[in-house]
Amino acid sequence: MTQTSENVTWLTQEAYNKLKDELEYLTGPARTEIAGKIAAAREEGDLRENGGYHAAKEEQGKQELRIRQLTQLLDNAKVGAAPVSSDGTVAPGMVVTIAFDGDEDDTLDFLLASREYASSDIETYSPQSPLGSAVVDHKVGEDVQYELPNGKKASVRILKAVPYHG
């Protein structure tokens, strides 16, 4: 299957290794630990009124969800630098500057990347987010629309798209 820029997550080798280590921990020692908690809580008796059992089962559910998220993320990951567009086309791995409703004074800079890249340095939007999917594959100077959570449309102009250098 050919991967498009929309379902590929670009990761540095360091980020990939960190996520792979987390996945290995969750599928190994962490699973064993939570199974032990559930078994110990079962031995306490009536499961309907056993807070420890229900808490352990909830923790297990959250852990299994994170395992699925990491597995999908790593399956779609490309390690290395995202391809850099020489023609001003927005792609994952770029810092994008947009102007809301074409107002050059009302701008936002954000990194178009997986949430795994999120840092306090710059706001991060996923290529799958409403804003991210609206700007990806569009060029600097273009106006694009996307749907807000309340169902209304917002319009932005792409002012700049440059590679992210962490």
Question: Are 56 and 41 spatial neighbours (Cβ–Cβ below 8 Å)?
Answer: yes
- Long-range (24+ apart) CB contacts under 8 A made by 68-75 are 70/19, 70/22, 70/23, 70/26, 71/23, 73/9, 73/19, 73/114, 73/116, 74/16, 74/19, 74/20, 74/23
In words, the CATH class of domain 94-163 is alpha beta
Per residue in 41-91, pLDDT tens?
888 877 777 888 889 999 999 999 999 999 988 888 877 766 565 678 888
Determine the pLDDT at residue 28: 95
According to DSSP, residue 82 is labeled: P
> Which among 73, 82, 78 has a CA at the least distance from the CA of 161?
82
Q: What is the residue extent of each domain of the chain?
A: 9-79, 94-163
Q: Quick one: pLDDT band at residue 7, thresholds 50, 70, 90?
A: low
Average pLDDT for residues 19-30, to the nearest whole number?
94
**Greater confidence, 143 or 103?**
143
Determine the pLDDT at residue 135: 94
Average pLDDT for residues 97-110, to the nearest whole number?
85
How many other CB atoms are there within 10 angstroms of residue 28's CB atom?
10
d(CA 11, CA 23): 15
Burial class (CB in 10 A: 0-12, 13-18, 19+), 38: middle
Q: Quick one: pLDDT band at residue 2, thresholds 50, 70, 90?
A: very low
In words, the CATH class of domain 9-79 is mainly alpha
Is the pLDDT assigned to residue 166 strictly greater than 90? no
**Greater confidence, 161 or 101?**
161
Q: Quick one: pLDDT band at residue 4, thresholds 50, 70, 90?
A: very low
pTM of structure: 0.59
Q: Lowest-confidence range among 12-16, 36-40, 71-75?
A: 12-16
